[in-house]
Structure 1
């Protein structure tokens, strides 16, 4: 009887460990200094996305520029093009002189051509999906450039891109767009507007909560969909318990900086 009302953890031990390992992988390979000093928890509000738009293309361009800026990738050789202009491409070779992200991420070896990315026009009426899709695309580009496989190897690249997008600060939108309810009006639901999530809602929320913990975030929970808030709280409790007992030196070092 004592276990009848015991709260089940948000994730099982294996899922949790993979996400922790992937967070450590992100810290080690995707500019921990930028993460600690400059990364923001990006919110779906006027503060982060204040632009007025006049067309589908204008909205896509302005959202993309905001996402690129918050990701710290404005110096990366990436170009947004219209969907009908996106063609198969070869990933160029390039290198940075200092940091991967931020104002110091200056190219030391210029690429022969830019990396072209595009957008899903169906997502114009679902801006959080648009933001999350851009974030996932940028995360995939970063992984390809750094060329260090995530925990679990090549089979987990899609999941790692979702996790890295959360690490870059887009966890609210990533969590809110894992699953879209059809709602009461079938004609209002457009399945083609939904992004293709590789992590489940609990997994995405756990990664977002982990990032929020080390960034000292207190605001993002209220921007989550109502049914996600309790899961986010559960993830926070699970993370606090995990970090209390962790022996991982990198996590301990981050925790000390977080406490300061």
Structure 2
């Protein structure tokens, strides 16, 4: 009888297992120590994006520079170009770092022949959260192929893992807020071409964001989420706490200990 009133978990067991495995994969291959000590939860505020811009190109370049720095990829040979200048095909040069691969201390051993070129969607200029999330996802994809170690599930899961890795790098608020865009009452202001292409569902993205914030106890991860996502975040946190408690993983326990959770 009492079971009738038990709340349903946010995600099923297989979804949770993949997201947990992907989070651990991200820790193992994309610098867990940098995650603990340097990764911030990036918020859609003037504190994180204070720049004033006067053109579409300047907007794109400025936001890209911020996202790149927050991701810790300052040393990576990356170049943002306009959509018309983006080559249809480009090879991925292999980067070799002397020590760490992320952060201000990262240094390339050898400068590659050419930079990795990325571009942007001009339609997203008036939807800055989509622009930030799209940049974060693109950088995550470059990181995966540069590292050359596929996520759980292999190549078919790269798009989903890119979304998850973008959350791991601190962009979970904007990744969550841009999975789905409400069309509005009349739809006159809705631009479907401005929406980013999400590979994780809304609940899965919020779960990954909540998992990242679980190891950042000083952060209120739901503060800047869309109103309807705040309750989703709370359910995610509850499921995460139960998972870590009942099925302890050595990597998660180490992160828990080091983060002071």
Q: How does 1:49-88 map to 2 (within 5 A)?
A: 49-87=49-87, 88=89
Structure 1 counterpart of 2:233: 232
The Cα of 1:217 is off from its aligned counterpart by: 4.2
- Report Cα offsets for 1:205-257 as digits up to 9, x if no partner: 11000000112243331200011100000000111111112331111111111
2-side partners of 1:253 and 1:23: how far apart? 13
- The corresponding residue for 1:9 is 9
Conserved 8 A contact 1:40-1:169? yes
Q: Is the 8 A contact 1:93 1:112 kept in 2?
A: no
TM-score, normalized by length of structure 2? 0.98
Runs of 4+ in 1 over 4 A off after TM superposition: none
Residue ranges of structure 2 left out of the alignment (5+ in a row):
none
Find the aligned partners of 1:41 and 1:204 in 2 and give their Cα distance.
Answer: 14
Counterparts of 2:166 and 2:31, CA distance in 1: 13
Q: Kindly provide the CA deviation profile for residues 15-44 of structure 1, in whole angstroms up to 9, marking residues without a partner as x.
A: 000000000000000011111110000000
Whether the 8 Å CA contact 1:246–1:252 is kept in 2: the answer is no
Q: RMSD over aligned Cα, in angstroms?
A: 1.0
Q: Which runs of 5+ in 1 are unaligned?
A: none
8 A Cα contact 2:123 2:193, kept in partner: yes
- Whether 2:28 is the aligned partner of 1:28: answer yes
TM-score, normalised relative to structure 1:
0.98
Task: Kindly state the Cα deviation for residue 259 of structure 1 after the two structures are TM-superposed.
Answer: 2.0
Counterpart CA distance in 2 for 1:221 and 1:186 is: 27
Q: What is the rounded CA distance, in whole Å, between the counterparts of 1:56 and 1:142 in structure 2?
A: 26
Q: SS at the partner of 1:108?
A: coil
